[in-house]
Structure 1
């Protein structure tokens, strides 16, 4: 056969073969695509525990909560807060705003409206529901109920009249009314406040399923009309069993109050972490020094508040540590020294050497049978 003709026939055959291959591939893809679009979508199931988007939260999902927890309707909260008026804001937390409101029942409450776009706020909502919503103690803020509508997540608590311990230690300003002027806390009042916090923590730690608060600090201690302490903000709290520890991949707490084992990367949060934070709070309420602010030592070096406090105790200079606004006339030095000794025990670097909270309560009660304001 003529070589030229042979080449032409080969080229035509190759073209026909390639055309058939491309036609087959196109047909196959078209059929698969058509089948894919005609396949009905799979039904999605949602779980409160695993959904990553808080906007999926709905009224029907509230049926999964403990039925003993009271659900308050959004319309009632809108009326009680005058549609969440800025004039009623009494607090601004990390995950939302707090409003003072009066319900239709006449009860004055604090309404915490969590940020709708904060996943951490959603986790805080769940934590408070699973811990604070199921306990009751004189030194723990009372949980009134919740509201869950669409992406809104709202928690309702008793309203504590005098605000946070943090405000009383550092904000002495008046709101314009002489009756609301914040005077320095007396030594007796400070000891009673610490006793209240200790009682609340001891109760939590000794439940059948212990609760670790994980964020004990001055701003999370509220004071009522009689200056009785109420532990608040259980957004980082966790219920635990067995060995009283909670394994977490995230560090929880506030710098300055956080125990060293958390700072150094320990994944197990324990009741002893709360004990350490409580000891820091003891130093803070006695000295009126913020734990997360460095203190310049006599050598000129900046050190942590807890380092400074422990050094002062070791040098027997406890009386010089006291907040200058505390009246010294009725102070008993022996009581002050014991107070700082307990705080030092609680802030031991090693968790195993810290006392448990029920032991701390006994030690504090031995300072004074009854401390008056």
Structure 2
């Protein structure tokens, strides 16, 4: 009697493509409609060129942010693939995490962690309080977290990622006021053998590096320029471009440079700050901003170097505070060297 040969076991089932790529859980449209009360207007957190973001509460009571991408002549599909492919492989404490997605018919939804303290733009420019809840130390902590997130995109990944839309509304804040860089819809991958990529100029007016606006040649130093504008924004409480101000003050970068040249640095500090920083601390922050917005992109520091500068600034601040505590009547005068 012939021995019956058992058929080989079936190959192990492969996980869905999205799961293999780290795209997170696949949600149904019904789940996300339920979470947002059918995308009700009162749940809108914000809106940009790529879609509307809603707050949602999942069935397990988890709060999430749900981005509903605009369906504009196939653009939503492109944006969806770009953002998911980019952020799906990124994991860092200062970058917003993608929890999952929904892809049903024409529906393209992305599900992110919910950030309890909204974004930096809200606290800098849209508060009604005469005194800002953001102290100087909190602002420097937010800048350092943002710098670390961008340094990871530039230096911790291969291929590296250039964000190309660094701005205050894309810096989200968790319950402990830690910065989380968000919105990778504009991000570009930059292969190691290439120093730049030529692309259609995108970004936000006032933050875009001059060489990128002029030529479309993009590299990580373009993000550094935008970060320098962000430093100035955090220091001054002003938007990068403000047409309600007198002509010499419309452009934040040019105004701040002029104030430095005239040795009027103390006057650039946000009047809503609960307590102004010591002059030497302010000077170091302004110097970091000026280095980042150098018109020559090749002279700008890397984001890794910016992280070190900001860490040194915080250390300097701590040492200065210790010296003051030990000698409270010590003079804090200094010579301008800007």
What is the TM-score with the length of structure 1 in the denominator?
0.75
Structure 1 position 198 matched with structure 2 position 147: yes
Structure 1 position 151 matched with structure 2 position 112: no
1:268 to 199, 206, 217: 217
Give CA deviations for 1:30-59 in whole Å, capped at 9, x if unaligned: xxxxxxxxxxxxxxxxxxxxxxxxxxxxxx
Structure 1 position 135 matched with structure 2 position 93: no
Q: Which residue of 1 aligns with 2:295?
A: 349
Q: Which residue of 1 aligns with 2:228?
A: 279
Change in Cα spacing, 1:317 to 1:256, as seen in structure 2 (3 Å) is same
Change in Cα spacing, 1:302 to 1:295, as seen in structure 2 (3 Å) is farther
Q: Which residue of 1 aligns with 2:309?
A: 363
- The worse-fitting range, judged by mean Cα deviation, of 106-115 and 268-277 is 106-115
Give the deviation of 1:184 after TM superposition. Answer: 3.6
Q: Structure 1: how far apart are the matches of 2:316 and 2:67?
A: 35
Structure 1 runs of 4+ aligned residues shifted over 4 Å read 63-66, 243-246, 294-297, 300-303
Q: Which residue of 2 aligns with 1:109?
A: 64
Q: Structure 2: how far apart are the matches of 1:196 and 1:184?
A: 18
Counterpart of 2:88 in 1: which secondary structure? Answer: helix
Give CA deviations for 1:318-360 in whole Å, capped at 9, x if unaligned: 111001111346x221111000000000000011000000000
Q: Which residue of 1 aligns with 2:29?
A: 74
Give CA deviations for 1:271-291 in whole Å, capped at 9, x if unaligned: 000000000000011101111
Give CA deviations for 1:237-294 in whole Å, capped at 9, x if unaligned: 1122114645244101111000001221x23210000000000000011101111225
Change in Cα spacing, 1:120 to 1:282, as seen in structure 2 (3 Å) is farther
Residues 85-234 of structure 1 mapped to structure 2, 5 A cutoff: 85-117=40-72, 119-173=74-128, 183-206=132-155, 207-234=157-184
Counterpart of 1:307 in 2: which secondary structure? Answer: helix
CA contact 1:275–1:354 (8 Å) conserved in 2: yes
Q: Which residue of 1 aligns with 2:203?
A: 253
CA contact 2:154–2:160 (8 Å) conserved in 1: yes
Change in Cα spacing, 1:187 to 1:65, as seen in structure 2 (3 Å) is same
CA contact 1:99–1:111 (8 Å) conserved in 2: yes
Q: Structure 1: how far apart are the matches of 2:292 and 2:286?
A: 10
Structure 1 position 323 matched with structure 2 position 277: no
CA RMSD of aligned residues (A): 2.4
CA contact 1:204–1:210 (8 Å) conserved in 2: yes
Change in Cα spacing, 1:118 to 1:289, as seen in structure 2 (3 Å) is farther
Counterpart of 2:315 in 1: which secondary structure? Answer: coil
Structure 1 position 312 matched with structure 2 position 267: no
Change in Cα spacing, 1:275 to 1:244, as seen in structure 2 (3 Å) is farther
What is the TM-score with the length of structure 2 in the denominator?
0.83
- The worse-fitting range, judged by mean Cα deviation, of 269-278 and 164-173 is 164-173
Unaligned runs of 5+ in 1: 1-62, 175-180
Q: Structure 2: how far apart are the matches of 1:249 and 1:261?
A: 12
Q: Structure 1: how far apart are the matches of 2:80 and 2:30?
A: 20
Residues 20-99 of structure 1 mapped to structure 2, 5 A cutoff: 65=18, 67=20, 68-70=22-24, 71-99=26-54
Q: Structure 2: how far apart are the matches of 1:370 and 1:225?
A: 27
